[in-house]
Amino acid sequence: MASVVDIFCGAGGLTHGFVQQGFNVVAGIDNDIHCKFPFEHNNKGARFIHKSICDIRPDEINALFLQKQPKILVGCAPCQPFSSYTHKREYDDKWDLVIKFAELIINVKPDVFSMENVPALVSYKKGEVFDKFIDLLKPHYPHGIWQDIVNARDYGVPQNRRRLVVLGSKLGKIELLARTCEPNEYATVEDTIGDLPPIDAGEVGEGDPLHRSQGLSPINLKRIQQSKPGGTWRDWDEDLRAPCHQKATGQTYASVYGRMSSDRPSPTITTQACSFGTGRFGHPSQDRALSLREMALLQTFPDDYEFLDFKKSECSFKRVGKLIGNAVPVLLAERIAESIQRHLEEHGHSK
């Protein structure tokens, strides 16, 4: 049986997709200790290792894999440095982690590897970081390395989320499965969160401590009451508009303080999607931002996925929002896992 190690595992979105496809994920590695509970609690048998990729040795990782079986190494290097919000910075040491990941792949020698990241990585500094990543790996994966920018909504995720996916194999040519959904089949916000009980801003839903939303200031409550699904802050009365929107530089940020549409996939869920003022994260019909559970569902986590041990910890919107927003959507992870599963079977290996 093939075994999987997940680098930059976070709360376990990528791992859970592989688990759902029947893979044996033996471990996840991350330098954020808050990932330990959700990763291990929801992915039974997978061990969480609290270490930075800069500190873990290839021989430590190789010791985790099952012997004489295909080794699969997957990961999603921190993508914030390459996001549309931050990729203009001159330097961020997190950029180095992409190259560190390549070096780890070279030294661990997995039979199959996969990386998921934001599309901006491809063009950052005219491709300097990404081209180096690929060039380092090419000699070790002579069958070629598959890469493309895909939209998670084409794979069943109720979210307009473009992602870079990279796959490589020592066994033969590998590629991601073709899209599984046509536009008329896209999962929508209503399909995904429409059955949750309504709550007000600042409330917690009965029976699910994660179905909680942040409170709204009086002016933001008035703003969301005047917001239309899919509309902009231009729908508001003049006296409700933020000072930044009254400047020329703020005119292009139409989705900030927006309300999402119920009959379409959501916008990209970020770490701050539980905040009304950071994007089009207003609930389609209720006067509040998304709850943490709604964020998780739009990321296609199961409705019972737990991110926090409420018996031991208070809920922090910032902390849990980070765990959810940084995750690989589980359904996209499943399709990556299925692609690898079929590839292994083509070359005489079971998953």
Q: State the catalytic residues.
A: 79
The residue with tokens 């931050």 is: 86
**Rounded to the nearest 5°, which phi and psi values hold at 97?**
-65, -30
Residue-level length of the chain: 351
Helix, strand or coil, per DSSP, at residue 173: coil
CA dist., res. 40 & res. 3, Å (int): 16
Of all helices (H) and strands (E), which one includes residue 97?
A: helix 96-108
CA dist., res. 265 & res. 103, Å (int): 37
**CA atoms within a 13 Å half-sphere pointing along the CA-CB vector of 160:** 10
> CB of 324 within 8 A of CB of 301?
yes
DSSP strand E in the chain: where? 3-7, 24-30, 47-50, 71-75, 112-117, 145-151, 162-169
Name the residue among 72, 96, 70, 69 with its Cα closest to residue 82.
96
Name the residue among 160, 166, 59 with its Cα closest to residue 112.
166
**Is the torsion defined by CA of 317, 320, 323, 329 positive or negative?**
negative
